[in-house]
Amino acid sequence: MRQLFIKQKVFSISEKFTVKDQQENDIYFVEGSFMRLPKTFSILNPKREEVALITKKMFSFLPKFMVEVNGQEILTIQKEFSFLKARYSIDAAGIEVRGNWWDMDFQVLQHGKIVGEVSKKWFTWGDSYHVQIQDEEMETIVIAIVVAIDCVKADHAAASSNPAT
């Protein structure tokens, strides 16, 4: 089992952060498209090659995020129409997210088998997540799911704080 840590910088205007292992080595680099449309997050390996891409779909009635790993779309996160509380659905072939993913405490399963677990670290400066990888072949997908859900939450928070939307 591999342990990874994602820590976002609180005052990072460039939307860049890293994923580290237990020895604090940089394993992945996450780079957001600051002030560009469509909004994207690229996940890069240590050689700076893109291994995953998260894209917010433009011109969609309700917000929709697509996650690609190695050039293949593996997951979408879609806001559902609701009058009271914001609801989102995750659609992925063979991949399921179980638990309270809105509070970042969930498991990622592939065909019913746990491949990763995510928990939010509380009382930290900025958002920090602890990610346990059970199946190393699914590592990039699990990291992409964590970044995508965090992106959805940030987008929702920004929309909620803007009275014009």
Three-state helix/strand/coil letters over 5-51: EEECCCCCCCCEEEEEECCCCEEEEEEECCCCCCCEEEEECCCCCEE
Domains of the chain: 2-161 (2.40.160.200)
Q: In this model, does residue 25 exceed pLDDT 80?
A: yes
Q: Which residue has better confidence, 50 or 98?
A: 50
Average pLDDT of every residue of the chain: 82
Continuous H helices in 22-138: none
What pLDDT does 11 receive? 42
Structure tokens at 142: 């699990």
Mean pLDDT over 116-132 rounds to: 79
Q: Cβ(66)–Cβ(52) under 8 Å?
A: no
Q: Of 148, 106, 133, 140, which Cα lies nearest the Cα of 4? A: 133
Mean pLDDT over 2-27 rounds to: 79
Q: Which residue has better confidence, 26 or 149?
A: 26
pLDDT in tens, 71-94: 889 888 887 776 666 667 788 878
Question: What is the share, in percent, of the chain residues with pLDDT greater than 70?
Answer: 83
